[in-house]
Amino acid sequence: MDRAERLRPASALQQHYRAGMPQLGLYGLSENWLLKECGHLHWLAIAQAHGRALPEFADEAGHKSYAALTALHLHEAQLDAVTENATFSLAVRATSPGRAQHFSTQTLRTGTLRGARVELLSAFIRRAAGSNRSIVRAPVGGDSTAVEDRTLSDAALSLQARARVFRTGGGVGRLGLQPAHGGALRSAVFTPCPHNDFNGAGLLYFASFQALADRAELAWHGLRPALTVERELYFYGNIDPGESVRAELLAEREDGDEYAHWIRLSRCADGVRIADALTRKRRVA
């Protein structure tokens, strides 16, 4: 089956905002808020592409299914461009590079400035048992209805390929980072809060993985005033409420006004890798 046969058509939507305290962080637009909102719009775009008023899906056996992110790429970020009371928008285009997968690219704009691009890749999943350790893929039937976009399709295939490399343990050479010989440079353990870090589906929310990486950075280096310029997140698993996560620093670099690091997240209970987070930040005065 060739690429054109495997790719589904695209859909689009747009949302407008005025920046207030829920959207803002210490140095501009909150990255965590942005990721959560992009995840929400990704979910709505999937529903729109399937011609549904609400994002409610079930697999072929009738089990309730959700779109869980497998990869995310935030880049070209200028989050300090969004200030208090500023208006901004998110434009979303989405397609499906596989039967159980969906991809969206989302562009943040404020005035005439492009403030960030966010690419998200998801797969439909369900629990095979009661635990978040039992998550399995859950193909959902139905096709999209809009027109295919080749540029969007190429971007989807690129992120899908990178996610596959990281999932198989071969993720190297991103953002100028190479894993250190001899194991992790540093480590820290965190217990996500069930009331703040888990979503309505009972899963550790994808944006909480970003928050865990930032908490680890703070624990190791203290406060370093900076804004995220680029972040890649690759997701492999989840945890149950009450479980702890180990963050390990695999690589880091300093480069003038920027720094970058690669943090791996694993379940403490069994040591299973659940995510990789590669981050590049720009220092602020």
- Rounded to 5 degrees, what are φ and ψ at 221? -120, -5
Evaluate whether 197 touches 241 at the Cβ level (below 8 Å): no
pLDDT value for 51: 85
The pLDDT value given to residue 250: 94
Other C-beta atoms within 10 Å of 114: how many? 14
33-59 confidence digits (pLDDT tens)? 999 999 999 999 998 888 888 888 888
The DSSP symbol for 204 reads B
Asked if residues 69 and 63 have their Cβ atoms less than 8 Å apart, the reply is: no
Distances (CA, A) of 78 to 28, 104, 278: 9, 20, 17
pLDDT of residue 212: 98
Q: What is the C-alpha to C-alpha distance for residues 263 and 259, in angstroms, rounded to an integer? A: 13
Residue 100 structure tokens: 């159980």
Please tell me the predicted confidence (pLDDT) of residue 181.
79
Spans in the chain with pLDDT lower than 70: 1-11, 99, 141-148, 170-172
Which phi and psi angles does 240 have, rounded to 5°? -90, 155
pLDDT of residue 146: 45
Q: What is the pLDDT of residue 6?
A: 39
Domains of the chain: 1-168 (3.10.129.10), 174-285 (3.10.129.10)
pLDDT at 139: 77
Identify which of 2, 162, 6 has the alpha carbon closest to the alpha carbon of residue 70: 162
And the tokens for 3? 């690429």
Which pLDDT does position 231 carry in this prediction? Answer: 98
Q: What is the pLDDT of residue 284?
A: 95
Instruction: Note the pLDDT of residue 285.
Output: 83
Express each pLDDT in 136-168 by its tens digit: 888 776 555 444 678 898 999 999 999 999 999
**CA proximity to 29, closest of 100, 82, 97:** 82
Q: Rounded CA gap, 209 and 218, in Å?
A: 14
3-state secondary structure 51-120: CCCCCCEECCCCCEEEEEEEEEEEECCCHHHCCCCCEEEEEEEEEEEECCEEEEEEEEEECCEEEEEEEE
Q: What pLDDT does residue 147 have?
A: 46
CA angle, residues 12, 18, 23, in degrees to nearest 5: 90
C-alpha 200/C-alpha 213 separation (Å) is 22
Model pTM score: 0.92
